Amino acid sequence: MMLGAQTYTVRSYTQNERDFREAMRRIAAIGYTCVQLSAIGNVPVEAQRDICGEFGLKIALTHTSPERMLADPQGVIRDHEILGCENIGIGMMPDRYRTAEWIDRFAQDFTGPAKMMRDAGKRLMYHNHNIEWTRLRDGRRIIDVLLEQMPAELMGITLDTYWVQAAGCDVLAWIEKLQDRISCVHLKDVAVQNWDMRMAAVGEGNMDFKRILKKLAELGKTDYLLVEQDDCYGDDPFACLARSYENIRKMGY
């Protein structure tokens, strides 16, 4: 499993080409060998590819506009060919699908683009939050509908450990359940401050990452471990990525 960084963590530093280069340099200097490109500003895909290559960073995954996937799937595929990236990610389910009346339309809308991606040697990857465990008015849960209607060959799941925990679910059980879909996993820890649930550097919260990483290694279905911390609460996000990296390495991964 390659250990990488999700650039959403450092999104304030990826909005132009000069900053993007410095951010990738710092990520590589920590020791990461791959990245997920997310929340990138006005940086051409060719420049993203070249800069990541300059620092030896493989582009493992993106977060790409789901609306563009529907409107211009061939353009999305073409960009990922340029990036040398096999995994095309949806970062968040668009609001309109999160109801009993519209949830079935997700598969209706995305099956076509997902088949085009598969035929081009790519894979659609869906990133979960906690909302996927919402039980809709008709009794169905969003996650169950997604898994039933979008087969693994068409859609993987970028499993986010923090958000599974936030949904009140067993992370290890869902790793087992989703093992054929989770080529990419977001490593994100959960801490508590007073009554508030907070994101934390991996190994600095309350999640049992030794068991999580062991389970992923035993299953052997995950290619990329991607560290993400959406909110660093005023800390330097590069320092947070560095602490996560060191803690994961100390666990033997």
pLDDT at 171: 98
* H-run or E-run covering 155: strand 155-160
Are 201 and 185 spatial neighbours (Cβ–Cβ below 8 Å)? no
pLDDT at 147: 98
Cα–Cα distance, 5 to 226 (Å, whole number): 5
Category of 139 on φ-ψ map: left (φ > 0), alpha (ψ -120 to 50) or beta: left
Share of the chain above pLDDT 90, in %: 100
User: What's the pLDDT tens digit per position in 67-78?
Assistant: 999 999 999 999
CA within 13 Å, CB half, 45: 14
Q: Structure pTM?
A: 0.97
Q: State the total domains in the chain.
A: 1
Quote the mean pLDDT of the chain: 98
User: What's the pLDDT tens digit per position in 78-109?
Assistant: 999 999 999 999 999 999 999 999 999 999 99
Q: Which residues span the domain enclosing 14?
A: 2-250
Are 57 and 27 spatial neighbours (Cβ–Cβ below 8 Å)? yes
Residue 58 sits at the vertex; the CA angle it makes with 56 and 61, to the nearest 5 degrees, is 155
Cα–Cα distance, 207 to 171 (Å, whole number): 9
User: What's the pLDDT tens digit per position in 216-242?
Assistant: 999 999 999 999 999 999 999 999 999
Cα–Cα distance, 5 to 28 (Å, whole number): 9
Instruction: Name the band, by pLDDT with cuts 50, 70 and 90, for residue 24.
Output: very high
Instruction: Name the band, by pLDDT with cuts 50, 70 and 90, for residue 63.
Output: very high
Are 216 and 222 spatial neighbours (Cβ–Cβ below 8 Å)? yes
Instruction: Identify any residues that bridge with 4 across adjacent strands, giving them in sequence order.
Output: 34, 226
pLDDT at 87: 98
Helix-strand-coil percent breakdown of the chain, rounded to 5? 45, 20, 35
User: What's the pLDDT tens digit per position in 50-62?
Assistant: 999 999 999 999 9
Tell me the average pLDDT across 186-215.
Answer: 97
Category of 163 on φ-ψ map: left (φ > 0), alpha (ψ -120 to 50) or beta: alpha
pLDDT at 220: 98
3-state secondary structure 22-84: HHHHHHHHHCCCEEEECCCCCCCHHHHHHHHHHCCCEEEEEECCHHHHHHCHHHHHHHHHHHC
What is each CA distance from 202 to 20, 131, 186, 209, in whole angstroms?
Answer: 24, 22, 10, 8
pLDDT at 239: 98
- What is the CATH classification number for the domain harbouring 44? 3.20.20.150
pLDDT at 93: 97
pLDDT at 200: 98
Tell me the average pLDDT across 24-42.
Answer: 98
pLDDT at 149: 98
DSSP symbol at 179: T
